[in-house]
Structure 1
């Protein structure tokens, strides 16, 4: 990689970077910094990317939420935290979470919970319960859903 980019070269490179996959502003700024661009140039490039529709935080947030839920089976809490970490505001986060239908969310939760419960090879009931809850909470599902489900699964055994 070369050390110095003209604004035109940087824009072309970043357009390709954004076209490949949705990006948030923070990722693009980091990439531009790694290309040794100064903050004035970064601001100029960012505004050009927004006006050319290469960069759109709402589109990024929605795509991120859909993808992480469908592919990685993340719950809403984890998705929200990851979007906040990427500097996305709460309004856009709420819009993004609406991309996941309640039916799809619950179905993913049920499938993941049942699969995980079956896969835990632990004879001690308390340890099994802890492993299950830790896993589901780490995935970002709401604690009330997780604890309700663990009670349901434990009752189905007895």
Structure 2
């Protein structure tokens, strides 16, 4: 039982997984939704499995098709852009935080259609502009730009979108 962390020995309420149990539970965990290796590694560590044992389980999940970082990156990008309306910068930062390789990030970012991206940016700018009760155009513009940059949209695109909104008087 050298693969178990010592804190589990001292806390009887936390029952660690055996290696056989871990394989079944991690397979179910990965089958439920797309996961990255870092999420699986964290889950295994929480259950007392780390080091070589954890890496062997992760390798098994990859070879059996339960774990695929490129597939995860594509699903993550689709979800965060399509549902949460995040911009490219925020999505890329989140993927980097999850230790996804640059090649997988690049593959995932291909899921974003540039035309749809621009439309979403304009929608978000318009929505935020309407929600603000700001009368001063400069303050309103600044607040909308900061909001959109915070959502992960590129500053140059944000500036162009806000300018287009002002010129079209949809602001």
1:85 pairs with one of 85, 93, 97: 97
2:18 is the counterpart of 1:6: yes
1:71 is aligned to: 83
1:61 alignment partner in structure 2 = 73
Question: Structure 1: where are the runs of 5+ without partners?
Answer: none
Work out the CA distance in 2 between the residues paired with 1:42 and 1:99: 31
Question: Could you tell me which residue of structure 1 aligns to residue 43 of structure 2?
Answer: 31
1:116 CA displacement: 1.5
Provide the aligned C-alpha RMSD in A: 1.5
Cα offset, 1:135, TM superposition: 0.7
Gaps in structure 2 of 5+ consecutive residues? 1-12
2:41, 2:50 within 8 Å by CA — same for their partners in 1? no
Q: If the length of structure 2 is used for normalisation, what is the TM-score?
A: 0.87
* Structure-1-length-normalised TM-score: 0.94
In structure 1, what is the equivalent of residue 135 of structure 2?
123
Q: How many equivalent residue pairs?
A: 158
Higher helix proportion:
1
| Larger gyration radius, structure 1 or structure 2 | 2
